[in-house]
């Protein structure tokens, strides 16, 4: 029940295209859902996050869509650029927990 | 100066060695974490220190020993490791209160290879 599932494992997108990464969870106590971006040789960095009281959050080219009833959330990267090539992790935590539960990651490659 | 600094960046050690990983955070946070990152696996939480007290030990083998002397510094002492312990070890910090929690801020990790 603590698991966060993430798909796809890897994704190849042409420059200018839309990248979509999906995550699903079981624990209904989760109330905070961040996305992290990790470049080779670097630690994960917070990209964007959402709470379940909203269905969508947009920051620049990055949008989180959240479906509370389906217990799913997704990251959309509009106008994908080669510089977006990285590994993306979704995560979840409940307000009483110590442990952010991470998905296994999606390796995104944006072709020039 | 990055928010969370880890040293060394790379470490190669034999199975009988003793070494330590160091982490320092400059964000004024009150909680620090050790995570293990292995290829094609989710990030695994190892230890959590909240207000310098260890609040979680995620069934980590005793060959890993954490130390948190203050809210800004965190160590991971290693001894008699196994080859399967080779991984990227990430330190993170966050601000935790009774009503909210900030996101995790990660360092760039220590790439550990056990030979």
Q: Please choose, from the candidates A94, A107, A90, the residue with its C-alpha nearest in 3D space to the C-alpha of residue A47.
A: A90
Sign of the Cα pseudo-torsion (B99, B103, B108, B112, in order): positive
Q: Is A1 a residue whose pLDDT tops 70?
A: no
Q: Does A100 touch chain B (CB under 8 A)?
A: yes
Mutant choice from B33, B102, B108, B110 vs A, greatest count of A C-beta within 10 A: B108
Q: Which of B47, B30, B39 is nearest to B91 (CA)?
A: B47
The dihedral built from the CA positions of residue A38, A43, A48 and A52, taken in this order, carries a sign that is positive
Residue B50 above 80 pLDDT? yes
CB A49 within 8 A of CB A35: yes
Q: Which two tokens stand for residue B85?
A: 């312990």
Residues of chain A contacting B48 with CB distance shorter than 8 Å: 98-99
Once rounded to an integer, what is the mean pLDDT over residues B50-55?
A: 71
Chain B residue with the nearest C-alpha to that of A95: B100
At residue A94, the pLDDT reads 79
Q: Please report, rounded to a whole number, the percentage of residues in chain A having pLDDT higher than 70.
A: 95
**B window 77-106, beta carbon within 8 A of A:** 90, 92, 99-101, 103-106
A61-67: long-range pairs with CB below 8 Å, 24+: A62/A35, A64/A33, A64/A35, A66/A33
Is the model more confident about A74 or about B42? Answer: A74
Smallest CA–CA separation between B42 and chain A, in Å? 4
The mean pLDDT value of chain A amounts to 93
pLDDT band at B17 (very low <50, low <70, confident <90, very high): confident
Q: Do B100 and A100 touch (CB under 8 A)?
A: no
Which of B6, B42, B45 is the closest to A103 by Cβ?
B42
Nearest residue in chain A measured CA to CA from B104: A46
Task: Show Cβ contacts of residue B48 under 8 Å, excluding neighbours closer than 6 positions.
Answer: A98, A99, B31, B32, B33, B54, B55, B56
Percent of chain B whose predicted confidence (pLDDT) is above 90: 67
Question: In this predicted model, which residue has the larger pLDDT, B62 or A95?
Answer: B62
A54 CA to chain B: closest CA distance, Å? 18
Using CB atoms, pick whichever of A9, A45, A104 lies closest to residue B106.
A45
- Helices and strands, number each (H, E), in chain B: 0, 11
pLDDT in tens, A48-90: 999 888 999 999 999 999 999 999 999 999 999 999 999 999 9
Tally: H helices and E strands in chain A:
0, 11
Phi and psi torsions of A84, nearest 5°: -85, -10
Q: How confident is the model at residue B22 (pLDDT cuts 50, 70, 90)?
A: very high
State the pLDDT at residue A52.
Answer: 87
């Amino acid at each position: 029940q603590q698991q966060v599932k993430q798909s796809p494992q890897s994704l190849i997108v042409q420059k200018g295209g839309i990248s979509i990464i999906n995550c699903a969870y079981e624990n209904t106590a989760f109330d905070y859902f961040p996305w992290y971006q990790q470049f080779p040789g670097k630690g994960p960095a917070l990209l964007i996050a959402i709470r379940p009281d909203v269905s969508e959050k947009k920051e620049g080219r990055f949008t989180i869509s959240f479906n509370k009833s389906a217990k799913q959330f997704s990251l959309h990267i509009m106008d994908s650029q080669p510089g977006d090539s990285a590994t993306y992790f979704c995560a979840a935590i409940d307000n009483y927990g110590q442990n952010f539960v991470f998905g296994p990651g999606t390796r995104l490659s944006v072709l020039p | 100066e990055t928010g969370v600094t880890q040293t060394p960046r790379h470490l190669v050690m034999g199975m009988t060695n003793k070494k330590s990983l160091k982490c320092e955070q400059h964000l004024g946070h009150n909680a620090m974490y050790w995570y293990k990152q292995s290829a094609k696996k989710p990030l695994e939480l190892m230890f959590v220190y909240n207000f310098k007290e260890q609040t979680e030990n995620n069934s980590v083998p005793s060959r890993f020993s954490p130390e948190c002397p203050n809210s800004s510094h965190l160590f991971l002492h290693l001894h008699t490791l196994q080859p399967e312990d080779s991984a990227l070890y990430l330190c993170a910090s966050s601000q935790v209160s009774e009503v909210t929690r900030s996101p995790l801020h990660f360092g760039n990790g220590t790439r550990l290879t056990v030979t």
